[in-house]
Chains A and B, each alone.
Chain A
Amino acid sequence: MGQQGLLTMQTKPNPGLFKRNPPIAGEAEAIERAKNGDADAFSKLYSLHKRRVYTLCLRMLGNVSEAEDMTQEAFLHLFRKLGSFRGESAFSTWLHRLTVNLVLMHLRKKGLQLVSLEETINPSEDDAPKRDFGSRDPQLAGSVDRVTLERAVASLPPGYRMVFVLHDVEGFEHNEIATMLECSTGNSKSQLHKARLKLRELLRQPDQLPPIEGNKEVKQ
């Protein structure tokens, strides 16, 4: 092959990190107690999961205020629905799916069609990644750290960002995403590929990336 990719990340991910949602000490007991109306136990569930739920909302919505509202909504929904959790899947997986569903319902209520019909999640031509096999820019061979990647993801068009976050960050499969977004698996694959192409473009010009909304940038 002879050539290496342009992007060299400074922060190597922990290979074990992507084992989604390992059991959390004390969680099962807190769930059972919370189901029986124990307010302290529900508070513990909030403490255990608030960061992940909020971060997920923030990445999907790209807006601090909306992300906080949806975090609140997710935990209120959790309180109402906790009795429905039967323990057949990891609690955090269940909670994340509940959160994703709520965010998608919120977006649909706002009138965003980006998650409903085939190809409607395609961004405008300006936002779409360019087909540019060939030209490699040697100036772009610098390293890209986690903060830069986070900023690039935040800069993606909403439809691309949604599929990228769900698949590459959250670890959902294409068939799961297709169900959630009411699109085909082919569309999910296509949108993910375009998202990665767009990210490649964005990461080539990291100094042009805008700061994340509210200056709540990711700590390294």
Chain B
Amino acid sequence: MSDLTNVNFDTMTAAQFEDYLPDLFASGDGKVSEDPRFAKFLAANPDCAALVSDLETIAEHAKSLFEPTEDPADSVWSNIASKLKDEPQGLDETGDALPVE
């Protein structure tokens, strides 16, 4: 990814800015539009400012999708309950799919 250590953010080109964007969004709180380092550049490049605004809007509103909205069919629980009857709990001691706590 990009090394931003020696970048002059005031004189970079739009293409350079685009190359840096994945890292810029991933650093800090991801609010590129509010980062004072880019204020001058974004003021001089309204299309870049619009792009940043749109991407921030998408990221912000993606959070609203976190709220679950879909119920599985009733048959899902029926199938689970049916299989559980034949299965003693804690039988599987392998680590498959187990997340790290």
A→B interface (CB under 8 Å): 1-9, 11-14, 17-18, 20, 35, 37, 39, 42-43, 46, 50-52, 54-56, 58-59, 67-68, 71-72, 75-77, 79-89, 94, 97-98, 101-102, 105, 131, 133-136, 144, 146, 149-150, 153, 164, 168-171, 174, 186, 189-190, 192-193, 196-197, 199-200, 203, 216, 218-219
Contacts of B33 in A (CB 8 A): 1
> Does the CB pair A84–B83 fall under 8 Å?
no
- Interface size for B (C-beta < 8 A) is 58
- Nearest B residue to A99 via CB reads B97
**Is B55 positioned at the interface, with any CB of A under 8 Å from its CB?**
yes
Q: How far is the CB of A104 from chain B (nearest CB, A)?
A: 9
Residue in B59, B67, B70, B99 whose CB lies within 8 Å of A196: B59
A-B contact count (CB 8 A): 194
Quick check: A133 and B98 within 8 Å, CB to CB? no
| Main SS at interface, chain B | helix
Taking A54-B70, A71-B72, A77-B97 as known contacts, 16 extra A-B pairs with beta carbons closer than 8 A to each other, sorted by chain A number, are A1-B42, A9-B61, A37-B89, A39-B84, A51-B71, A58-B70, A76-B87, A80-B87, A81-B92, A86-B101, A149-B62, A150-B65, A190-B22, A192-B22, A196-B59, A218-B65
Question: Within the complex, what minimum Cβ distance (angstroms) separates B22 from chain A?
Answer: 4
Chain A CB within 8 A of B4 CB: no
* Chain B 57-99 residues near chain A, CB threshold 8 A: 57-73, 75-77, 79-81, 83-84, 87, 89-92, 96-99
Report the separation of the CA atoms of residues A164 and B58 in the bound assembly, to the nearest whole angstrom: 10
> B76 near A72 (CB under 8 angstroms)?
yes
| Bound form: Cα–Cα A21–B38 in Å | 34
Contact B98 A7 (CB under 8 A): no
Q: Which B-chain residue is minimally distant from A153 (CB atoms)?
A: B65
- A55→B57 contact, CB < 8 A: no
Are B70 and A55 interface neighbours, CB within 8 A? yes
Q: Which residues of A contact B58 (CB under 8 A)?
A: 7, 149, 168, 196, 199-200, 203
Q: State the CA gap A3–B60 with chains docked (Å).
A: 19
Task: From known contacts A80-B91, A136-B50, infer whether A68 and B61 are also in contact, taking CB-CB under 8 Å.
Answer: no
**Which residues does B use to contact A, with CB under 8 Å?**
1, 14-15, 18, 21-23, 25-26, 33, 42-43, 46-73, 75-77, 79-81, 83-84, 87, 89-92, 96-99, 101
B22 lies within 8 A of A94 (CB): no
In this complex, the member of B53, B55, B76, B96 whose beta carbon has the largest number of chain A beta carbons within 10 angstroms is B76
B57 A133 Cβ-Cβ under 8 A: no
Whether A50 contacts B97 by the Cβ 8 Å rule is no
| 21 CB-based A-B contacts, threshold 8 Å | A2-B49, A3-B46, A5-B51, A5-B54, A46-B77, A50-B76, A54-B76, A76-B84, A77-B96, A79-B84, A82-B89, A83-B89, A131-B18, A133-B47, A133-B51, A146-B61, A153-B65, A169-B62, A174-B26, A200-B55, A203-B58
The 3 closest A-B pairs by CB, nearest first: A5-B53, A97-B99, A13-B64
